[in-house]
Structure 1
Amino acid sequence: MANSDENVFAGKLRGELSRRRFLQGTACTLGAALASAGIYEKIETIAQPPERPAFASSPPTQEQYILQNEQVVTVDGSGVETSNGTTAVRVPALHDHVITATLNVPANAKALQEAQRHLESALMGLEQQFPPTPAGVGITVAWGLPYFHHYIPSLGKTSSFFKAGTLYPTYLPVDLVTSKMEGHTVYALQESRTFPSDQSPPGFGPVRMEQNDMAVLLRSDSLANIMAATKALFGTGSNQAGGLFKVTSIRRGFSGGGFYGLQGLPSKLALAAHLPGAQSIPANAQGFLGFTTTLQSNMGPGIIANLETLPGVTDQWPHGYFRQGTTMQLSHLFQDLATWYEQRFPQYARRVQAMFQPGLSPAPAPGTLTLDPPGQSEADVAHGVERYRAYGHSGSMAQVDSTTSPTTSNYGAAYPAGTTIPVRGDFDTLDNPFYYTSDPTGNHYNEKKAAGLHFIMFQPTIGIFNRVRLAMDGHYSDTTLPVAPRSHGAGINSVLFTTHRQNYLVPPRRHRSFPLAEFLS
């Protein structure tokens, strides 16, 4: 971006911040926040949307978490798209928004079943208007444990899935693997927890374990489409579903924009917001830390992240109520770009080693590296620690987030050993920590822009996420690496600061609206 263009964009940003300060002082902060996307409105003026099919190639799938018609391109070692590239990368939607809420519905069968019909009507209306693709809008509705605990204490009707009188939480999917490991029943959806490297910024307090009833993830190349979906789901008009919810946060962000030889959104927006360390972000980087997060080989293929796809993972095969659903982990983290680029890992090779594994010798030209080394075994990681007193971020997790042997799914798909199971959906943000929060004091809301990450991961069980996250800190089921989890040798941990976390269950599309409410009496 030329300096003059950068100055113009920075001026627009300052004007937008002034407008937001005014809106913060009004009595309709939530209404203003729902109606406006602030600085994120500028994305479509500075990024070229990928050329994608306007409509889905097939009807909406039952897997809510899958964004249909995502492009896959090949890129070279610096992340630039090329016809003879060696690495396959999914091209994410430009805009990502998450809205969390508690319910504004009485906890009785009649009210919940009416709410179920109302929400499903709104969702069906949106699907008739927008296909579930980046060119339309992808909608994922997820439900937290507070919803099930408070609103679905027991089931009053017998069905092909449950007996009348089934109590919470016994109707939830069972995590068979973790249950066997721990010697008692563990469900696929668990409460969120802390991890050894968890640390919030000074003065922020401990990581906040959120208690939202639900969350909606919206993804699209079109901000107008996302705002239309937001209005339909959380507006308060006669044909809108907003009266069902009390919005607790609005989280806005972005990903990519640099796959076509153009300057990526992380670089452009960080420079315009004058974030410390912004000048060091590679120009075409997909994310603030300069690396591509949507490598095809590092994303679960097809429907592998479903509850029921892999044999023996949950009890949802073949006829579970939540079959074709998954679990979702949602976190917010700050990213210390100045420390990452200028203090702790100023050399490009050091950043590569921290992100992947120690000992790698990448080409000297910085870029949004797409290096895809073979997955490390636990023994490989331990050997690296012995030799380098360090381990890499992705290397530490390879044996925990992937199939350990050739596996045939319950649907007949063959997955070779080392096939990634989780699907990432995270995106960068300038929110500090959220675009809007109903609790600005408790959530330490600040108007000052900051480099952040709204981290999203879909996987069959939260138990899988927990094991992956522990491996990121060097903790495995049988050993703990002799590296302090926030030290320079612990991958990227030392530049990440977690503020919020919550786990959710993502039902299949057919049960996305107030799941299980139809069994209340």
Structure 2
Amino acid sequence: MSDSNENARAGRSHGNLSRRRLLQGTAGAFGAALASAGIYELIDSIAKPPDRPAAGADSPPVQEQYILQNEQVVMVDGSGVKSSNGTIAVRVPALHDHVITARLNVSANAKALQEAQHHLESALLDVERRFPPTPTGVATTVAWGLPYFHHYIPTLGKASGFFKAGTRYPEYLPVDLATSKTEGHTVYALQEARTFPSDQSPPGFGPVRLEQNDVAVLLRSDSLANIKAAQNVLFGSGSNQAGSLFKVTSIRYGFSGGGFYGQQGLPSKLALAANIPGAQSIPRQAQGFLGFATTLDSNMGPGNIANLETLPGLTDQWPNGYFKQGTTMHLSHLFQDLVTWYEQNFPQYADRVQAMLQPGLSPAPAPGTLALQPPGQSEAEVAQGVQRYHAYGHTGSMSQVDSTTSPTTSNYGKAYPTGTTIPVRGDFDTLDNPFHYTSDPTADHYSEKKAAGLHFIQFQPTIAIFNRVRLSMDGHYPDMTLPIAPRSPHAGINSVLHTTHRQNYLVPPRRHRSFPLAEFLV
């Protein structure tokens, strides 16, 4: 490990925590953290907002909370710059991404939960009246963890068109029909988070923390002022705000893009501003710290394909499930070791391309935007690559596991060709270490020293799909395991990632986003 990496690890030491941060669990510390965005305040002054098409004034929000409405898709050339003759389609993400996780500050009874349901929905509608649910306004996604359902919704007391009276947890959750059939017992679309073969936290950090939050709120916007205003409505302490409903456990800030218009991207600018080891090696216009675009259109599920009910036979939510038009969400945090990536394991651009995509590629010498075209590598082709090159690539290892394996017509009549990606990514780079704010700095190993990281978010119909894709990233497939250690430099990008936290969530449709199922309690 280099001296620079040792210094970064040392900055995570509890002995370096200031008294102010050690007291972060207090209301005053939370309020200060909510009001200040720290280094992220720079973004609106150093990045040009994307030139997005105007949203229709009369266009109502879609039921799918996870879909970023009015998202721009641009064609880029090999350098990643928007170009009239570019050949690669890239979705332009929001500049700012904030996630706030919380446990509930609500009594576990029908009256309290139903009042909380109305209170939160009123606050969310207030945000939507002030800002369109797009990147030029504020896009809001409310997701619920298994602890919420387990503790607050033990039994449904009322019958409905969806459930029988007396339905108990977890029987009202969406059923993963495909996995249930394979495993021979009922498996739900939402499952507890697990660890994976390559999961490894930094030295001294401890094991990966599998979180138990009740709720997570994702806010996306090109404007920090808009996000701050939305956060104040949802988590502020005034009488017309919803903050009294929550005990916030973390605030997670981050960013993406900024370099699609020939400008220096946010990853390069902010990493240099924060003196992150290895920052000088980040390509100038890179969308992410590792130098590659993460929102390639071909690698993002189109339309509503990630819904619980869209693809036939995946879940029981078609045609009339309570959670129809919802999805599942995985949220995790991991550190990215830029020194090892750029200077030690993969010092040449071609090395990084082969680690990120697949071995054997011969890219142009200058860093640029690259993509594996659908349907990507099959499992057999990945194995053949290992035999020939003694390595596999990150994207190549997952490219067919996360996609349709044959031409598929959705329940809505949409035809998807073989190789259509199913999950939708929403991850973003961060300088949090690991979070901007935590209510438990000891357990979360909080440090004020900035570090290159990623708040990883992915939406997919079932958590089983996420688990299967994530295992393939480690070379583990249902019928074989690649003969490469999962943290080897020959295993894609795994050797430069250090995971710290994971949790899975259910994202209801917009109509049920506020305390789902509380209306059926008695």
Matched with 1:342 is 343
Q: Does 2:32 align with 1:32?
A: yes
Shift of 1:365: 1.1
1:328 aligns with 2:354: no
Residues 437, 26 of structure 1: alpha-carbon distance in 2 compared, 3 angstrom cutoff: closer
- Per-residue CA deviations over 1:252-294 (Å, capped at 9, x if unaligned) read 0000000000000000000111111100000000000000000
In 2, Cα distance between the equivalents of 1:21 and 1:475?
A: 40
Distance 1:367 1:19 in 2: 44
What is aligned with 1:516?
517
Report deviation, 1:183.
Answer: 1.0
Unaligned runs of 5+ in 2: 1-16
Tell me if the contact between 1:76 and 1:370 (Cα under 8 Å) persists in the aligned partners. no
How far is 1:53 from its partner? 3.7
The residue number in structure 2 matching 1:12 is none
**1:154-233 aligned within 5 A:** 154-233=155-234
Is the Cα–Cα contact under 8 Å of residues 355 and 393 in structure 2 kept in the other structure?
yes
How far, CA to CA, are the matches of 1:24 and 1:206 in structure 2? Answer: 22
Cα deviation, 1:166-195, whole Å, max 9, x if unaligned, reads 000000000011111111100000000010
Q: Tell me what 2:44 maps to.
A: 44
* CA–CA separation in structure 1 for the residues paired with 2:294 and 2:235: 30
DSSP-derived class of the 1:270 partner:
helix
Q: Which residue of 1 aligns with 2:3?
A: none
TM-score (normalizing by structure 2)? 0.95
Give a deviation string over 1:303-358, Cα, whole Å, max 9, x none: 00000000000000000000000000000000000000000000100100000000
- Residue 55 of structure 2 is matched in structure 1 by 55
Given residue 120 of structure 1, which amino acid in structure 2 is its aligned partner? E
SS at match of 1:166: coil
The 1:213/1:27 distance shift into structure 2, 3 A limit, reads closer
Partner AA of 1:47 in structure 2 = A
TM-superposed deviation, 1:28: 1.2
Moved more, 327-336 or 372-381: 372-381
- Indicate if the aligned counterparts of 1:20 and 1:38 stay in contact, CA closer than 8 A: no
Query: Cα 1:25–1:235, aligned 2, differ >3 Å: closer, same or farther?
Result: closer
Per the alignment, in what secondary structure is the counterpart of residue 127 of structure 1?
helix
TM-score (normalised: structure 1): 0.95
- The Cα of 1:369 is off from its aligned counterpart by 3.8
What's the counterpart of residue 99 of structure 1? Answer: 100
Counterpart check, 1:482 vs 2:492: no
CA distance in 1, matches of 2:247, 2:483: 45
Q: CA deviation at 1:21?
A: 6.9
* 1-structure distance, mates of 2:26, 2:512: 38
- How far has the Cα of 1:490 moved from its partner? 0.3
The aligned runs of 1:15-414 (5 Å cut-off) are 28-56=28-56, 58-370=59-371, 372=373, 374-414=375-415
Distance 2:360 2:165 in 1: 59
Contact 2:372 2:396 in 1 (8 A): no
Aligned pair count reads 505
Amino acid at match of 2:357: F
Distance 1:91 1:415 in 2: 23
Name which of structure 1's ranges 70-79 and 500-509 shifts more when overlaid on structure 2. Answer: 70-79
- Following the alignment from structure 1 to structure 2, what is the Cα–Cα distance between the partners of residues 18 and 272? 22
Do 2:143 and 2:216's aligned partners in 1 also have CA atoms closer than 8 Å?
yes
Partners of 2:337 and 2:230 in 1: how far apart? 33
Per-residue deviation, 1:158: 0.4
SS at match of 1:390: coil
What is the percentage of aligned positions where both structures have the same residue?
A: 83
2:201 and 2:64 mapped to 1: Cα distance? 33
Contact 1:104 1:244 in 2 (8 A): yes
Shift of 1:55: 3.1
Moved over 6 A (4+): 17-27
- Are 2:402 and 2:465, in contact at CA under 8 Å, matched by a contact in 1? yes
CA 1:27 to 1:412, structure 2 compared with 1: closer, same or farther past 3 Å? closer
Sort the Cα spacing of 1:465 and 1:20 in 2 relative to 1 into closer, same or farther, 3 A: same
Q: Is the 8 A contact 1:53 1:135 kept in 2?
A: no
1:368, CA displacement in angstroms? 4.4
Aligned residues of 1:267 and 1:281 also touching (Cα < 8 A): yes
* Structure 1: tracts of 5 or more residues without a match: 1-16
Question: SS where residue 443 of structure 1 aligns?
Answer: coil
Structure 2 CA distance for aligned equivalents of residues 502 and 214 of structure 1: 10
Counterparts of 1:343 and 1:233, CA distance in 2: 44
Write the distance in 2 (CA, Å) between the matches of 1:493 and 1:234. 36
Is the contact between residue 153 and residue 169 of structure 2 (CA under 8 Å) also seen in structure 1?
A: yes
In 1, the alpha carbon distance for the partners of 2:230 and 2:207 equals: 33
Q: Secondary structure of 1:140's partner?
A: strand
* Bigger Cα displacement from structure 2, 19-28 vs 208-217: 19-28
